[in-house]
Amino acid sequence: MITQEDLPLLQKMSHTLGFLCADMVQKANSGHPGAPMGLADIASVLSFHLNLAPTNVDWLNRDRLIFSGGHASALVYALLHLWGFDVSMEDLQHFRQLGSKTPGHPEYGHTQGVEITTGPLGQGVANAVGMAMAGKYAQNLFGREIISHNVYCLCGDGDLQEGISYEAASIAGHHQLSNLILIYDSNHITIEGQTNIAMSENVAKRFEAQGFEVISCDGHNVLEIDSALSRAKDAIKPVLIIAHTTIAKHALSLEGSHKAHGTPLGEEIIKQAKQKLGLPPESFYVPSEVAFAFGLLKERGELSFKQWHKQYENLPQIAKERLDSMRNPSFEHITYPTFEVGESMATRVSNGKILNAISQALEGFLGGSADLAPSNNTHIHDERDFPFGKNWHFGIREHAMAAICNGVANYGLFLPFCATFFVFSDYMSPSVRLSSLMRACVYYIWTHDSIGVGEDGATHQPIEQLSHFRAMPNLLVFRPADANENVACWEVALDSKLPCAFVLSRQNLPILMPYTPTLKNQVQRGAYILKDTKDALITLMASGSEVSLALKACEKLIESNIKARVVSVPCLDLLLQQPRSYVQDLCKGSAVLAIEASRGLEWYAVADRVIGMDSFGASGQGEGLFAHFGFNVEHIVQVAHELIKQS
């Protein structure tokens, strides 16, 4: 507990920290000085509450600290440096420069100590809820002796205006996540000015209604901050600390101004402000007593780690093996289901069987749906619900669901999946983008993949979504043609160590091929010849439900003495990564016609012509819609003849 005697040191710590951030922004001539300076008092006190071990950065029982306002990254890096992480003073001096460890927004895997990549506002709040959910579930698996940490999240007015924070807080309150502490930097400032130009709600009552304990404090009174943090750690429900702060604290004429949000303060203001506070004028100055005080976090953390490690060593061997298998999962012992050629099954149904097979082999494989588990086929059999089992009910909250899963993935024990209808993936896109940026292993299950949805109409029929997600780097999008190809797609996905999406049919599809060990190798290259004809004049390429249609069209072409082949493309992303020679080997110099019930413009990278969607869908039976929009044998054959004549 902080006492009156500690106040001079705490004041010097916060002043040093705030102007270290101001110096970083000034040298870069770019960045956000206001929030870091306003948060400097809170961050200084927080240093005495956090349980981190900079020399054991992957310690399972460490506290997690997330900066939802990623624009305040100067504060992140300054703290990591002062706490003893691998962030040097030189790194701070290269803030926002190409190739530095200190980019404009914190990036997971790029800078040691950064728990997750937060860019769009509100994401970090949902990420923190995900980490708190992961921690709560892990605690139920292994006990409080092994899992007892807290998840802290620093957020601001912008984060709480974003709808994702409301969704995430609703889940946190519902599950009474007592390991979650949100610290709200309430400075009443956004880029355009005072928050009251667009926001007038009572935030405290909002969070109380969602099941939070709400604590208010003066964000510049270190004794009040210390008391609030101590109360929060003892709470039996999630906590929102409303810290009333002033943006750009101590920045003279810019103190309290929205102009300090995203613009350097200017050398003269920094110089005068330092002089007023009794700080030396030089940039990047850290007094030895301040460095020592911040450095105590490292010493306390290492001691806590050693104490925890003793408890870990006393675990039964079977418990240690479980933990190790979850942290380093092996996919060799998964017994996948088998599917008979000639049967008919929607890929959403086969996928449900595959999910259960993976879950049986991998204790850390878990997830759920946005209130659509019966339709998405994502229920894990013989499992309880969160927080005691693998079935996680996200409610109708797609945006938060995806961001929560990013937090779960980065927690370090689990492989999460989440599901909804493909058309609603639009709500998830910002979080999927961050998964891809981080290479976080989240598995997205998107069913009802095309106009085959049928009667629900254009609002529920995804058209442009495939193109959008295929354009996203580091994301593998699988659209399997049948149940056995679906198995191979999962084998490739798990090995990839990347976020992956499975785009699956509502309607039944014929099982076209038996599963063989070579199928995985074929899927690894994104595409393979499913039906070959020597000296074919045309190659029909397709994914998902259109593969069986391409096979029927191929037969019709052959009946009319037109030699044709069919190439199944379960993952166009992987195909486009192959050497051009591989595509040439698949097509053998023939004309190429791609068939897919989506916008499909990306197919022109490998195809001469595309039969795709040029409009939104319509309401009607799925088979009728396919014929209406040209996805039938007759139209494919007609276009194939035209393409051959042009070649």
The model's pLDDT over 171-203, given as tens digits with 9 standing for 90+, comes to: 999 999 999 999 999 999 888 989 999 999 999
**Close Cβ partners of 320 (under 8 Å, ≥ 6 residues apart):** 312
Predicted local confidence at residue 441, as pLDDT: 98
The model's pLDDT over 559-611, given as tens digits with 9 standing for 90+, comes to: 999 999 999 999 999 999 999 999 999 999 999 999 999 999 999 999 999 99
**Close Cβ partners of 413 (under 8 Å, ≥ 6 residues apart):** 60, 134, 138, 323, 326, 327, 364
* 213 is an active site residue: no
Catalytic one among 167, 224, 255, 398?
Answer: 398
Predicted local confidence at residue 191, as pLDDT: 87
Predicted local confidence at residue 592, as pLDDT: 98
Predicted local confidence at residue 193, as pLDDT: 87
Backbone angles phi, psi at 443, to 5 degrees: -110, 115
**Close Cβ partners of 310 (under 8 Å, ≥ 6 residues apart):** none
Closest CA to 522 of 571, 479, 584: 571
Sheet containing 239-244: which strands, arranged edge to edge? Answer: 64-67, 151-156, 180-186, 239-244, 213-218
Instruction: Give the domains, in start order, of the chain with CATH numbers.
Output: 4-307 (3.40.50.970), 343-519 (3.40.50.970), 525-646 (3.40.50.920)
Distance CA 114, CA 75 (A): 12
- What pairing do the DSSP bridges indicate for beta strands 538-542 and 564-568? parallel
Name the stretches of the chain with pLDDT < 70: none
Predicted local confidence at residue 392, as pLDDT: 98
Binding-site residue positions for thiamine diphosphate:
71, 119-121, 158, 187, 261, 424
Beta bridge partners of 217: 243
Predicted local confidence at residue 481, as pLDDT: 98
Binding-site residue positions for substrate:
32, 261, 348, 375, 448, 456, 460, 506
Alpha helices in 143-266 (DSSP H): 157-161, 163-174, 203-209, 222-233
Which helix (H) or strand (E) segment holds residue 43: the answer is helix 34-46
Beta bridge partners of 446: 420, 503
Tokens coding 492: 């490739």
